[in-house]
Structure 1
Amino acid sequence: MNWQEYYRSRTISADEAAAMVKAGMRVNFPLAAGTVMQGALAARGKQIGGVVDLRMSSPIIDPGWLGGEAAAHFRLEFELFIGNMGRPSHDSRAATYLPNLFSTGFKPHDERPAEDKPIDFTFVNVTTPNAKGFVSFGPHQWNKRMYVRRARHAIAEVDASMTRTYGDVYMHVSEFDYFVEGTPPPPDLAALEQALAAMDAEKRDGIRAIIAEAGVERIWPIAQYLQRTPVADLRVLLGLAQPAEELKAIAGYLSELVEDGVTIQIGIGEPGSQMARLGAFDAKHDLGLHTEMVAPGIARLVDAGIINGRRKTIHRGKAVAVAWTGSDPEDLRIIDDNPAFELYDPDYVLKLATVSSNYRQTSINNALSIDLTGQINSESVLGARMMNGTGGQPETHIGAFLCPGGRAITLLQSTAVGGAISRIVPQLEAGALVTVPRYFADTVVTEFGIARLLGKNHRERAAELIAVAHPEHRAELREAANRLFG
């Protein structure tokens, strides 16, 4: 049969797809998977009659398995990212975390299948098929295609509203077992008004101002969390808050480090997500982009010609990523159907050999804390409490470190909790997670300057880091350094 006939014969409802999942199976929703099938599977939870092993990354909604009765039927495992929505489940130990990397995450499945549980079902969201029967994964490709090609059964949630992108992004409909036509419904304005009516006047006015600024389409996906999320936090989440003065200083120091012609990677989260908006790259020429994801404003730098890839050694002239996650609406408008932007699977983009083969790869990532030897923690606070996973930071940082002429930059504000706690610490707390080992530490930037750690011993590193710590914490850091290193 031709592809149209195959597609029609394999199109089923979300409930029919969910009914195929049985107790004891392993199910995966890769990063940025669609929400229609998540809701259908959660609704089936109580009917399963057992427990399903469920792996996913950074949920943006709670389909029902993060809490409530259905949660008892899903053994939840996060990988790569936890995110704000998943963190309470991990805090309560209802969920666990899988430490892996994008580029090596399928090594147990591919090379040691006897030691790994097979993937029974993978659910992903895709575009509608093109004239030749090929679909892609929209702006948030991530590891979706990698999961589809390894699962016993792959089910595509077809979303007619998804942005079309370029690069190595396509799969033929014949590579999927079933299709669920699941384009998310438009915002329910009546339901949103009902939610706003239940809030106090100050909160309601604050959210209405956000809607006027950002648009209802950006608010609707998080409508169920508006009541319990402070307006100030919503503005930060949506990129509407004015950046702190400390971030402006960090952007200035970062601009000193990024040289014309280098290939950059940048992570989201603070401070990295603000760097493009704060002009850290505006005066640069011929930058390249090879990144896991992006920060708001990066696509506009491509559109302006500041990022043009002219000196890149691979994918010359193209902006390359795993996903365009992190883009704001204007960025996505620029990326839509634009061949200057290309996506590839993370096992290629983030492979150390790929990253280090770029022209002077310069990584820009964030940290929660750094100790005086240069150990970088980007995952946990208060010891072992995980705030997020590794994402692609180890690969992008180490790849840039290994790249000839490359530089691995770590950004962080010098303090947390209103200045009460120094993020530069004598030693990481017991249980704190080391995202990047000290022997890969390179360049650290705070609002007080640049610490250059490469090639320096522990005493010299301590001196460099103390010089960029907050002045109010430097005396105690010097005392600790003398105690630790002499």
Structure 2
Amino acid sequence: MKRTKENIAKRIEESVRHPDIATRVCVCVVAQVNPHMPRTFGDAIIHESHIDYAVSDNTPLPEHPVKPPSPEEARIGQLIGDNLVEDGATLQMGIGSIPDAVLSALKGHKDLGIHSEMFSVGVIDLVRRGAVTNNRKKVHKGRIVGSFLVGNRELYDFVDNNPFIEMLEIDYVNNTHVVSQQPTMTAINSCIEVDLTGQVSADSIGTRMYSGFGGQVDFIRGAAESLDGRGKPIIALVSNTKKGESKIVPTLKVGAGVVTTRAHVHYVVTENGIAFLFGKTLRQRAHALINIAHPDHREALERAAFDRLKCMPAP
């Protein structure tokens, strides 16, 4: 099919009307049928009439181990839970020890919602405690919304045939406008390093690609543009690497990609505190970030800030 503007628009329209558009445009559809796979509601449901061939597979699903957070990660979770997550907030967070630590700190919260590219095991306990109800959401009220899962058998069993969960296509879930409609949208994402002006690298260490950046840009922007004006875009990271190097740096490593720009950064959180950067000057940003850097590196960062900005960072 020729890629004209009209055809592209038609394909977009078709994808909205038919969530399983991939099965409708393919010449031959082969389904891998695995009894271990949880059945979820939403866009993941495909009628058998759309399948040409089915292949049986009984392989157990891969499981992602749950690791206990380090003291630094637990402190970050507590700082975010106590100071930045409000009752009734809608949450987005990825996988890892920091998101799990944040979830562990929310057991006393009320009427939280989930609208996230993915979610993991930590959500289950909050649902069972009644902390996650999704009752204040304007869109998909009463439902956890996601696009994919990473977890263990407990998570897969939890979502299986559970009408509380809606798994929707990622181009919808990550749509900035859709994200902005969620009440008190609170997006919690991590990164590799942050420079003194607030530039965030989340996918590479210098020129070496480390991971994809996922939905960080979508959700950081969506939370910042929240229609109720209460959204909180958050970047969370431990202040030091395992080798003792600072993750708050004078400049990003040569070749590192800027995933979230300094124009979009609002909150940066380490185990040492919370820095609010939005609307601040470069001097004010450097001051705020140095204050949450590891104490062992603050003096060197102050010297670097002086060299770069030609003045001491201002409070």
TM-score for both structures, normalised by structure 2: 0.87
Q: Which residue of 2 aligns with 1:310?
A: 135
Q: 2:287 aligns with which of 439, 442, 463?
A: 463
Q: Give 1:269 deviation, angstroms.
A: 2.8
Contact 2:76–2:101, Cα closer than 8 Å, also in 1: no
Q: 1:153 aligns with which of 14, 17, 28?
A: 28
CA–CA separation in structure 2 for the residues paired with 1:368 and 1:146:
36
Contact 1:367–1:377, Cα closer than 8 Å, also in 2: yes
Q: Give 1:482 deviation, angstroms.
A: 1.4
Describe how 1:39-438 pairs up with structure 2 within 5 A: 145=20, 147-184=22-59, 238-239=65-66, 241-255=67-81, 256-276=83-103, 279-323=104-148, 325-381=149-205, 383-403=206-226, 404-419=229-244, 421-438=245-262
Q: 1:480 aligns with which of 295, 298, 304?
A: 304
Structure 1 gaps of 5+ residues are 1-107, 115-143, 187-217, 223-236
CA–CA separation in structure 2 for the residues paired with 1:146 and 1:368:
36
CA–CA separation in structure 2 for the residues paired with 1:306 and 1:448:
27
CA–CA separation in structure 2 for the residues paired with 1:293 and 1:396:
12
Contact 2:69–2:97, Cα closer than 8 Å, also in 1: no
Q: Partner of 2:172: helix, strand, or coil?
A: helix
Contact 1:160–1:183, Cα closer than 8 Å, also in 2: yes
Q: Give 1:275 deviation, angstroms.
A: 2.7
Structure 2 gaps of 5+ residues are 9-18, 311-315
Q: Which whole-Å deviations, capped at 9, do the CAs of 1:287-327 have from their partners, x for residues lacking one?
A: 1110011132112212221010111111111111112x133
Aligned residues: 296
CA–CA separation in structure 1 for the residues paired with 2:4 and 2:79:
43
Q: Give 1:174 deviation, angstroms.
A: 2.7
CA–CA separation in structure 2 for the residues paired with 1:485 and 1:308:
47
Q: Give 1:329 deviation, angstroms.
A: 2.9
Amino acid at match of 2:236: L
Radius of gyration: which is bigger? 1
Contact 2:76–2:271, Cα closer than 8 Å, also in 1: yes
Contact 1:299–1:335, Cα closer than 8 Å, also in 2: no
Q: Give 1:175 deviation, angstroms.
A: 2.3
Contact 2:34–2:58, Cα closer than 8 Å, also in 1: yes
Contact 1:145–1:345, Cα closer than 8 Å, also in 2: no
Amino acid at match of 2:131: I
Q: Partner of 1:438: helix, strand, or coil?
A: coil
Q: Give 1:113 deviation, angstroms.
A: 8.3
Q: Give 1:474 deviation, angstroms.
A: 0.6
CA–CA separation in structure 2 for the residues paired with 1:300 and 1:407:
23
CA–CA separation in structure 1 for the residues paired with 2:207 and 2:96:
19
What fraction of aligned residue pairs are identical, expressed as a percent? 37
Q: Partner of 1:253: helix, strand, or coil?
A: helix
RMSD over aligned CA atoms reads: 2.3
Amino acid at match of 1:395: D
Amino acid at match of 2:94: G
CA–CA separation in structure 2 for the residues paired with 1:346 and 1:409:
21
Q: Which residue of 2 aligns with 1:61?
A: none
CA–CA separation in structure 2 for the residues paired with 1:444 and 1:308:
27
Amino acid at match of 2:299: A
Q: 1:418 to 1:112 in 2, by over 3 A?
A: farther
Q: 1:475 to 1:343 in 2, by over 3 A?
A: same
Q: 1:461 to 1:467 in 2, by over 3 A?
A: same
Q: 1:458 to 1:164 in 2, by over 3 A?
A: same
CA–CA separation in structure 2 for the residues paired with 1:110 and 1:389:
30
Q: Partner of 2:87: helix, strand, or coil?
A: coil
Q: Give 1:171 deviation, angstroms.
A: 1.7
CA–CA separation in structure 1 for the residues paired with 2:201 and 2:298:
20
TM-score for both structures, normalised by structure 1: 0.57
Contact 1:384–1:430, Cα closer than 8 Å, also in 2: yes
Contact 2:111–2:134, Cα closer than 8 Å, also in 1: yes
Q: 1:273 to 1:379 in 2, by over 3 A?
A: farther
Q: Give 1:376 deviation, angstroms.
A: 1.0
CA–CA separation in structure 2 for the residues paired with 1:407 and 1:387:
26
Q: Partner of 2:238: helix, strand, or coil?
A: coil
Q: 1:369 to 1:147 in 2, by over 3 A?
A: farther
Contact 1:261–1:287, Cα closer than 8 Å, also in 2: yes
Q: 1:274 to 1:459 in 2, by over 3 A?
A: same
Q: Give 1:335 deviation, angstroms.
A: 2.1
Q: Partner of 1:365: helix, strand, or coil?
A: strand
Q: Give 1:164 deviation, angstroms.
A: 1.3
CA–CA separation in structure 1 for the residues paired with 2:200 and 2:146:
24
Q: Give 1:183 deviation, angstroms.
A: 2.8
Q: Which residue of 2 aligns with 1:440?
A: 264
